[in-house]
Structure 1
Amino acid sequence: MAFEAPPVTVQVRDQNLAILGVVDDFTSLTITPRFNAVGAFVLNIAADSPKADLLVPGNGLIIRRGSDVLMSGPIREPNWSSGDGGSGTLTVNGVDDMTLLAGATCWPNPTAAPGSQTASVYKISGVVAETAMRALVNLNIGPGAQAARKISNLTLAADGLHGASITKQVNQFDNLLAVLQDIAKTAGLGFRIVQVGSNLQFQVYEPADLSASAKFSFRLGNLTDASYSVTAPTCTKAVVVAGGGSSPRVVSVTTRADAAFPGPWIEQFVDLTSVDTASVDLTAQMDQGANEALTTGAAQGNLTMTPIDTPRLQFGRDYTVGDQVSCQVRGDFISDVVREVNITFDAQGGYVAKAVIGSSDSTNNQDVLARQFQYIARIFNRLRRLETRKPS
């Protein structure tokens, strides 16, 4: 469903994030912001446009709707094509600035020189989740990083102290984005990098629960398709093993029963053998390891739907990636997280947005999962009653 688009502005920036100009003659633009992941954009423009020379690798785009930045990031692949021998079309592909996190690793001692990386882990001890995430970014690629690793113009938003206190060890040179995703998933947080003024800014936030106000259904005309499935748990018993090398081995077992899957326990080994069992925070580290394994391995009630924007409910204005919204299936509303949104603008001002809600990587809490399982169980019961009903 298309309708009059909110104004969108496409600015081109250089390597220093300075604005070079505005692309106002594109033929189509598609952006896909993703929750706690790298987003993407595709822009099509006539190859003979006077703006085409700006769309080269090294430069980037800032895509705004009104005063809000929907996405910012570097240009990766400009491609030319022609079907009639004319000037042709330039297709510009790029990613958002979250790619900076995907291209970095977590050093065990990020303030030390490469030859001094003697530790095997980076330790986080009793720190609020957001503070820990900010420290990882700051010390590895931010203002506090070594000069050779520091990304110029990358700043950090003020610490909002979101999330519970965590204690964990990060293995040497783990991918920075993956580590942040693990922490954010357990803490229920969102994070992003976006251009603010002449700088890039790393931000951590608490996604909003908009399930009471952001509702999608076929009856409301803002839902095009829906599907649901249940994925069995892969871990219901975490066997955490610490030490065993230079310190005595300590083993703990943490279980998390799932009423929807009453089968046998599913054990998973959590390797903390690099942890010194004489550490004063040993219990906290083992608890954190068990919690992450059980959260990642929990059963998933996967509700995947494709809502579309309408004048009454629009992405960016009324909800964004990471927020919880409600979708109606067979009369019942079920809440889930907006994972990504695909937004297409055309040269005539047309605007279509489709959101993917829920996925196999769901971070919903147990209450939401329970409601999904209960609903799916009701459907199965209805089907069984229909199958056993005697013909009249």
Structure 2
Amino acid sequence: MESTALRVYIRDPSLQRLGQVTDHTQITCVPRFNAIGAMVLEVSADSPSAPLLVEGNGLIVKTSSGQTVLSGPIRTVDWSRSRTDSGGGKLTVGAVSDDEILARYTCWPAPALAIGSQSAAIYKINTAAVETGMRDLVNLNAGPGALVTRKNPLLTLATNGLHGPALVRQVNQFDNLLVTLQDIAAAAGLGFRVIQVGGGLQFQVYAPVDRSGTARLSFGLGNLADANYTTTPPTCTRAVVVAGGSSSPRVCKTYDRADPLFPGLVLEQFVDLTSVDTASVDLAAQMDQAGAEALASGAGQGSLSVSPIDIPNLRYGRDYNVGDTVAAQLRGGDWFADVVREVTLTSSASEASVKATVGGDTGSNAVSRIYQYIAQLKRELGRVKTRKAA
């Protein structure tokens, strides 16, 4: 399969390419939507590349057409050998995607000031586009605009595409940068990643594409090898948002979202905005944002694992990618559409395969489409069983 035949390159800590690994036994690459991906490389310990496969160096995984799938630093190099092995044994090299750089940093309430001058409790975002707010967080806490002592010299920012609506949000002092970006992107339905471009690590924000009209997977079409789904129940169906209370009057408001599988279930969760002055002109927007995020993070989740079969008119990496919306058909004739959350690409000398996980979207609709679809399937199955019992 051309789309899943992978090429592996080694880079040094300064991101300079050292060479290609041409004799690996297997490479498994797992890009994830708005999360840290993973790479696992298996190679003989006698390989000419073995001396370069050390912690501190990194891997770059590309398709045969030259598209970068993932890049990132090597974290583990494990050696093993059994008595049936020939030569010096086997190396199993584990690497993470360059998105992990975002997890190293926190969001300072006053990013331009030294740590001894951090007197504020929050960092406030008020931008005309969500992407602008996300870029500001990265730029001021880790990128070119950060303090010299915090700036990562390898991190750059792609051109601002102004994706997403206006963003009004408060970030609590020293919240993790990656987690904060995940929350913001999920509420806006955007994607982000850090990937090597040239000699730098580029932070990119993008709008995933709805390809459900063309990227369609089903057993009937012959492009689906297997499928299974799972569900996780909700942890929050009612967000209780409380603002003010110390230097300004308290304002309380609830936000409700019924769960498709458990429509009568009420799970309350306190959302603390007591640091927000209730005299703020954007109080309502801040409370609405906080309520939406709490419902999104606490919503019931559904996940579909499928094994697509690449066919000439539908290939991963060309016709759909992580973050895009695809359509699938399981039992019966109904189709559902949801986001590709992660893909496991496996490539060896003898075969190449794709395993995709669809669903678990915690976007602005709070309850993922696959979860609602599974709830519908279970209700229909229940009605079938009831009729048979009668």
Whether 2:135 is the aligned partner of 1:134: answer: yes
Deviation at 1:30, TM superposition (A): 0.7
Deviation at 1:380, TM superposition (A): 2.1
Does the CA contact (< 8 Å) of 2:169 and 2:289 recur in 1? yes
Partner of 1:307: 307
Deviation at 1:378, TM superposition (A): 2.2
Partner of 1:38: 36
Gaps of 5+ in 2: none
148 and 45 in structure 1: CA distance in 2 versus 1, 3 angstrom threshold: same
CA distance in 2, matches of 1:6, 1:189: 25
362 and 306 in structure 1: CA distance in 2 versus 1, 3 angstrom threshold: farther
CA distance in 2, matches of 1:299, 1:282: 28
2:346 corresponds to which letter in structure 1?
T
175 and 49 in structure 1: CA distance in 2 versus 1, 3 angstrom threshold: same
Partner of 2:52: 54
Partner of 2:19: 21
Q: Residue 379 of structure 2 aligns to a residue in which SS?
A: helix
Partner of 1:378: 380
CA distance in 2, matches of 1:8, 1:154: 25
Partner of 2:66: 67
CA distance in 1, matches of 2:34, 2:92: 26
Please say which of residues 280-289 and 172-181 is displaced more in the overlay: 280-289
Does the CA contact (< 8 Å) of 1:230 and 1:299 recur in 2? yes
Does the CA contact (< 8 Å) of 1:223 and 1:305 recur in 2? no
282 and 5 in structure 1: CA distance in 2 versus 1, 3 angstrom threshold: closer
1:76 corresponds to which letter in structure 2?
R
Partner of 2:80: 81
CA distance in 2, matches of 1:141, 1:14: 21
Partner of 2:338: 336
1:141 corresponds to which letter in structure 2?
A
Please say which of residues 21-30 and 181-190 is displaced more in the overlay: 21-30
Does the CA contact (< 8 Å) of 2:188 and 2:364 recur in 1? no
1:70 corresponds to which letter in structure 2?
V
Does the CA contact (< 8 Å) of 1:47 and 1:80 recur in 2? yes
Partner of 2:283: 282
Q: Residue 384 of structure 2 aligns to a residue in which SS?
A: helix
17 and 303 in structure 1: CA distance in 2 versus 1, 3 angstrom threshold: closer
Q: Residue 212 of structure 1 aligns to a residue in which SS?
A: coil
Whether 2:161 is the aligned partner of 1:160: answer: yes
Partner of 1:346: 348
Q: C-alpha deviations, 1:189-239, integer Å up to 9, x for none?
A: 111000111111111111111112111122233334333455554333322
221 and 28 in structure 1: CA distance in 2 versus 1, 3 angstrom threshold: same
Whether 2:268 is the aligned partner of 1:267: answer: yes
Gaps of 5+ in 1: none
Does the CA contact (< 8 Å) of 2:215 and 2:327 recur in 1? yes
1:119 corresponds to which letter in structure 2?
A
Q: Residue 134 of structure 2 aligns to a residue in which SS?
A: helix
TM-score by length of structure 1 reads 0.91
Does the CA contact (< 8 Å) of 1:12 and 1:23 recur in 2? yes
Does the CA contact (< 8 Å) of 1:337 and 1:362 recur in 2? no
Q: C-alpha deviations, 1:6-37, integer Å up to 9, x for none?
A: 55322211111111111112111111111111
1:308 corresponds to which letter in structure 2?
P
230 and 75 in structure 1: CA distance in 2 versus 1, 3 angstrom threshold: closer
The number of equivalent residue pairs is 383
Partner of 1:121: 122
CA distance in 2, matches of 1:259, 1:199: 45
TM-score by length of structure 2 reads 0.91
Q: C-alpha deviations, 1:157-179, integer Å up to 9, x for none?
A: 11111112121111111111110
Whether 2:246 is the aligned partner of 1:245: answer: yes
Partner of 1:189: 190
CA distance in 2, matches of 1:285, 1:176: 19
Deviation at 1:291, TM superposition (A): 1.5
Deviation at 1:307, TM superposition (A): 2.0
Q: Spell out the pairing of 1:212-231 with structure 2 (5 A cutoff).
A: 212-228=213-229, 231=232
Does the CA contact (< 8 Å) of 1:216 and 1:307 recur in 2? no
Q: C-alpha deviations, 1:263-301, integer Å up to 9, x for none?
A: 26433211001112222222211111112122223344x
Q: Give the ranges of 4+ consecutive aligned residues of structure 1 lying more than 6 Å apart after TM superposition.
A: none
244 and 6 in structure 1: CA distance in 2 versus 1, 3 angstrom threshold: closer
364 and 119 in structure 1: CA distance in 2 versus 1, 3 angstrom threshold: closer
Q: Residue 208 of structure 2 aligns to a residue in which SS?
A: coil
CA distance in 1, matches of 2:23, 2:166: 49
CA distance in 2, matches of 1:224, 1:54: 37
2:336 corresponds to which letter in structure 1?
I
Please say which of residues 86-95 and 6-15 is displaced more in the overlay: 6-15
147 and 189 in structure 1: CA distance in 2 versus 1, 3 angstrom threshold: same
Does the CA contact (< 8 Å) of 1:239 and 1:268 recur in 2? yes
1:123 corresponds to which letter in structure 2?
K
Q: C-alpha deviations, 1:62-101, integer Å up to 9, x for none?
A: 1111221001000111111111373111111110101101
CA distance in 2, matches of 1:230, 1:8: 32
189 and 341 in structure 1: CA distance in 2 versus 1, 3 angstrom threshold: same
RMSD, aligned α-carbons: 2.2
Partner of 2:147: 146
